[in-house]
Amino acid sequence: MAAVLAAGLAAALNVGKVPVALPLLRAELGLTLVQAGWVSSMLTTLALLGAAFVGMWVGRVGALRMVLAGLALCTTASVAATAWPGWAPLMASRLVEGLGFMWVAVACPALITAASAPAQRRLALSFWSAYMPAGASIAMLASPLLLPATGWQGLWWLTAAVMALAAIGLWAQRQHFSAAAPAPTAGGSFLGPVKAALGHPLPWLLALSFGVWATQHFALIVWMPTYLQEQRGLGPGATALLTGVMLLACVPGNLVGGWLVQRGVQRGHLLLGGQLAAGLGAVVYSLDALPDPLRYAAAVWVSFAGGVIPAAIMSSSTVLARSPQQIGTLQGLYMQGAQLGQFVGTPLVAAVVASSGQWRSALWVTASAAVMGVALALAAGRLESRLAR
């Protein structure tokens, strides 16, 4: 389990290394605000288009092979970006990193299911949901130590080294993942498990819920460093610390969500509570009249309260899936929903802020996403109750 979580943490470094480095990248490469937003969102492009399709192949290709290949792709792309600096090579490397990240994120839940006892799988998959904020926050907190001395290239090299080590550690534990070994199917039977997994509307509602949460969460993560430096005049060290702490607050939220799922709390209730709490927090941190410490506390609250949402969604495959292929399909669908929210939300916030010239205009994006999330949570709760009966 530790080896699988380490692989997820290593892949998530690719998410956290960009936000704090964006001001430096903009200065060195001459990027506009919108171009910087696309540098961040490029990681999600392939997941946006094909995560669910990739998830269909987890059972046939083998989860372990897919995770190791994903880590290898991410490592290679990070090193290549430092060798050919420039906006176009950086965008290309982020695209390749996105492919590797997608393989890791989609296939790791099948390894977790193989390595955990049946009674613990809901809890284990809920804990897995912490890989993203934990890994991204580690990259952010490491940034102040590396950026002044090595530039953004040093941070890229560090993430490459960590991903290579994670791949070695996962390979050393390969004997524990025999249940997730490749299982080729014959003829048209390949699509049978896929249709069974996606035939119920509940997974689609959960994927959309993940997407609207990601719109709120990643907009806050990606643009907080730029806001703190450009609007509040903070240095890179303070910016990385504040952003990293805010992101890290999502981890205890994930763990609380996992504990509640294990105790039988309905996912619809968790989604509803998380969306309401995150939406109210977004209103508070967007009000310029309030003191900065209170606004920052509200941002931390948004991260913590919203953490129950991915825990509730990712653990649902223990109920809805009947095979490793179905686990991969569902996790791919959920990832595709999350990446859709991030892909749309990050540049949309940049466009709204650039148009109005005021950062508080981002509230229109986050508040709209929260309202959609509440509606989706209510619908998912009704379907979940019906499915339980």
What are the tens digits of pLDDT across the range 245-296? 888 899 999 999 988 988 888 888 999 999 999 888 888 888 888 888 898 8
Tens digit of each residue's pLDDT (9 = 90 or more) over 62-99: 889 999 999 999 999 999 988 887 778 888 888 899 89
How does residue 386 score in pLDDT terms, banded at 50, 70 and 90? confident
Q: How many domains, the chain? A: 1
Residue 331 lies in a domain: yes
Tens digit of each residue's pLDDT (9 = 90 or more) over 16-67: 888 778 778 878 877 776 777 777 777 777 777 778 788 778 877 888 999 9
Residue 354 lies in a domain: yes
Residue 185 lies in a domain: no
| Model pLDDT, residue 323 | 67
Residue 364 lies in a domain: yes
pTM, two decimal places:
0.79
As a whole number, mean pLDDT of residues 204-233 equals: 82
**Does the pLDDT at position 187 exceed 50?**
no
Residue 237 lies in a domain: yes
Q: What is the DSSP letter of 232?
A: S
Residues contacting residue 199 through CB under 8 Å, at least 6 positions apart: none
As a whole number, mean pLDDT of residues 296-323 equals: 86
DSSP assignment of 292-335 equals: HHHHHHHHHHHHHHHTHHHHHHHTTHHHH-SSHHHHHHHHHHHH
Neighbours of 233 (CB within 10 A): 8
- Domain span at residue 111 reads 2-180+190-388
Q: What percent of the chain has pLDDT over 70?
A: 93
What phi, psi does 136 have (nearest 5°)? -65, -40
Render the burial of 244-280: b for 16+ CB within 10 Å, e for the rest. bbbbbbbbebbbbbbebbbeeebbbbbbbbbbebbbe
Residue 89 lies in a domain: yes
Distance from first CA to last CA of the chain, Å, rounded? Answer: 33
**Does the pLDDT at position 345 exceed 80?**
no
Residue 359 lies in a domain: yes
Q: 295: domain CATH number?
A: 1.20.1250.20
